[in-house]
Amino acid sequence: MMNTPLLILDATQCVECDLCSLACSLVKTGLAQTKVARVRSIKHWPDYPTINVCHHWRCDSKACMDACPSEAIELENGVLIIDPNLCNGCGECAPACPYGAIHINELDWKANVCDLCNGMPACVPACPTDALTFEGDSHVQ
């Protein structure tokens, strides 16, 4: 049985530089813009930051899936996936997510969620303080 892949933030090591978000947006959109990143650091100064990623293993309701009228959201091998061909951009899934992990991309108006970059998250090596780590299979399919 496969372990659930996890993106873990050690907030005590995060310096809020946003390099994780920049790496994410660059890999996913070709642009270095934090507003279109799937991984976003949320600043709570003077408290530690958080990162809004899907925690589906803790989510009993699967509210985002229920809210999606086009059935574009699926759980595949422990990772939440949004099919851009099925997503109609209605945005119903974003407020339904209790973790704030789903965002509407301002470039194509489709829902986006961190998909762990197919098992090799771009945000992890971009973090200069090793505040982000990835635990899971080396290649999620």
Tens digit of pLDDT for each residue in 11-61? Answer: 999 999 999 999 999 999 999 999 899 998 888 889 999 888 887 777 777
In a domain, 39, yes or no: yes
Q: Give me the pLDDT at residue 22, please.
A: 95
Which token pair is 113? Answer: 């969620």
Q: Give me the pLDDT at residue 138, please.
A: 43
Q: How confident is the model at residue 2 (pLDDT cuts 50, 70, 90)?
A: very low
Q: What is the CATH number of the domain that holds 20?
A: 3.30.70.20
The pLDDT of 126-135, averaged and rounded, is: 94
Instruction: Give percent above pLDDT 70 in the chain.
Output: 94
In a domain, 141, yes or no: no
In a domain, 1, yes or no: no
| Domain total in the chain | 1
Q: Give me the pLDDT at residue 137, please.
A: 54
Q: Give me the pLDDT at residue 37, please.
A: 92
Q: Give me the pLDDT at residue 87, please.
A: 97
In a domain, 43, yes or no: yes
In a domain, 140, yes or no: no
Q: Give me the pLDDT at residue 141, please.
A: 34
Which token pair is 85? Answer: 């061909």
In a domain, 108, yes or no: yes
Rounded to the nearest integer, the mean pLDDT of the chain is: 88
Distance CA 119, CA 40 (A): 18
In a domain, 95, yes or no: yes
Which token pair is 109? Answer: 């108006």
Q: Give me the pLDDT at residue 4, please.
A: 72
Which structural domain range is residue 43 located in?
6-135
Question: pTM, whole model, 2 decimals?
Answer: 0.85
In a domain, 68, yes or no: yes
- Judged against a pLDDT cut of 60, whether residue 1 lies above it is answered with no
pLDDT 10s digits, 80-102: 899 999 999 999 999 999 888 99
Residues 6 or more apart whose CB falls under 8 angstroms from that of 140 comprise: 5, 77, 78, 79, 116, 118, 119
